[in-house]
Amino acid sequence: MSLKNLITVPDDLLRKKSQNIEKITINEKKLIRDLFDTMYHHNGIGLAAVQIGILKRIIVLDVSKKDEGKKPMCFINPVIQSRSNKISTYEEGCLSIPNTFIEIQRPEKCTVEYINDEGKKNIIECEGLLSTCIQHEINHLDGKLIIDFLSKLKKDLIIKKLSKQKSADRVVV
Ligand code: ZN
C-alpha cells in the first residue's frame, strides 16, 4: 500500500501537459499501483498521474457501484477518437479541488483508444458515468480542470477560496 499526496488547486503542476509513455517499465507499474491505492483511499472514482505530481499520461478509474466488486481500469496514453452529439450532465467533483461540485455537460458517449497495463493497444466504447469520468481524467492530462467550464468570475472566486484554505493550514513557529 503506497499512498501519495494529492496535488490541489492552485498548484501550477495541474496546468501542465502530461507526457506520453514510451515503455511500460517497473516504474510505470508501481505508479499505477500508487494511483489505485491513492484513489481508493480518498474514495475517488478516477485519478490521473498528474494529481500525484507525475506528468505521465496514465489514468485509473473505478466506476463500479458500491454493492458491486471493485472494477479497476487503467488507461495509458488515452486518446478520444469520437464523441456522441448527445450530451449528458453530471455534477462533478475532483480530488484536486476540495469541496467543489460543478454541473458539467459532456458527450454522453465517447470512444477511447489507449494502451493497457500490459502494453497492448485497445479501444473502449464508453457511456454514462464511465464516459464522463474518462473525459474528466483525460482533461487532467492536458492541464484542464472542471473549474475551466465556469465563467472567469466564478472560477476566480473558487481559486481564491481554495488559496485561502491553504494558507490557513500554514503554521509558523
Ligand atoms: Zn479531477
Give the pLDDT confidence of 63-100 residue by residue, as tens digits: 999 888 999 999 999 999 999 999 999 999 999 999 99
Distance 7 CA to ligand 1 centre (A): 10
Given the residues 28, 108, 125, 137, select the one marked as catalytic: 137
> Which pTM was predicted?
0.93
Average pLDDT over residues 152-173: 80
C-alpha span between 18 and 21 (Å, rounded): 9
Distances (CA, A) of 147 to 8, 43, 93, 115, 139: 12, 21, 10, 28, 11
Short-list 74, 70, 18, CA closest to 47: 74
Distance 86 CA to ligand 1 centre (A): 23
- Long-range contacts, stretch 150-153, CB < 8 angstroms, 24+ apart: 150/102
By CB atoms closer than 10 A (0-12, 13-18, 19+), residue 66 is: exposed
Distance 137 CA to ligand 1 centre (A): 6
* Residue recorded with cell 496514453: 77
Cell numbers describing residue 58: 496514465
pLDDT in tens, 1-57: 789 999 999 999 999 999 999 999 999 999 999 999 999 999 999 999 999 999 999
Distance 135 CA to ligand 1 centre (A): 10
